[in-house]
Amino acid sequence: MRIHLIAAALACGISVLVGLPRQDWAILLLAIALVICAEMINTAIEQAVDLASPDIHPIAKTAKDVAAGAVLLAAIAAVVIGLILLGPPLWRLCFE
């Protein structure tokens, strides 16, 4: 969660720097919210699984792995969205 928040703060800082348009801000904030929501749901599932099944169990493993996979998918999507929105203006700012 700490890493996600640092990445989100970095993306917001760059967005301010490059003067990101309003619609792009909305997409960026949705992507950030998606990752944070996925991380919160993952934590909730981990805690619930540990409470319900403290011992090793294949179903507990599946539940935790699927929840962690959801976070990974959301994080990859957020990185791609960040690159699409911030890549070109950042490139112009640095090299043109």
CB of 70 to ligand ATP, least distance (A): 11
Contact yes or no for 7/76 (Cβ under 8 A): no
State the DSSP code for 19.
Answer: T
- What tokens does 37 get? 């929501």
**One residue of 9, 44, 65, 83 binding ligand ATP per CB under 6 A:** 65
Q: Is 39 a catalytic residue?
A: yes
CA distance 42 to 49: 10
**One residue of 14, 64, 79, 90 binding ligand ATP per CB under 6 A:** 64
Residues that bind ligand ATP (CB under 6 A): 46, 53, 56-57, 60-61, 64-65, 68
